[in-house]
Amino acid sequence: MIVWKMGIAAIGSALVLASCGSGGGGGGSSDNCTPKGAGSGTASQTVKIVSDPNTVGKFDPASVSVTKGQSVEWDFQDTAAQHSVTSDDNTTFDSCLQSAGAKFIATFNTAGDFKYHCTIHAQMTGDVKVS
């Protein structure tokens, strides 16, 4: 029982160290991500990325609908963790990890249901329905 508790404590320490490292900025991390599919201009839908006690972060709203040619803007508002907006196919769009204050805009020119997620928080998912 004592050994088991020590194991948990060690895991907790590792997580704290990891989050300190990623929050330090200054590059040099293993994240060599290049944003993909970034657009510009005025978005017709805005998704806030906020903190959530159950999933670390969440997309609010998780599902938005636009018509072809329209754009969606994601506003990174979670000051507690970085997040990404990454299409499930990993090619259509990818904001890479961003901190609070960042914005990412993607323009959708083809109809479909574009599901996306956060690369470091598997429980964070959303989708953009384009008609």
Residues forming the site for Cu ion (CB under 5 A) = 57, 83, 118, 121, 124
CA distance 17 to 13: 6
Q: Are strands 86-87 and 112-118 parallel, antiparallel or unpaired?
A: antiparallel
- Report how far apart, in Å, the C-alpha atoms of 94 and of each of 38, 46, 68, 91 are: 8, 16, 19, 7
Residue closer to Cu ion, measured from CB, 51 or 63: 51
Q: Least distance to Cu ion from the beta carbon of 116, Å? A: 11
Residue closer to Cu ion, measured from CB, 121 or 129: 121
Q: Tokens 């704290």 map to which residue?
A: 16
Q: Least distance to Cu ion from the beta carbon of 125, Å? A: 10
Residue closer to Cu ion, measured from CB, 57 or 126: 57
Q: Least distance to Cu ion from the beta carbon of 109, Å? A: 26
Q: Least distance to Cu ion from the beta carbon of 19, Å? A: 12
CA distance 108 to 37: 9
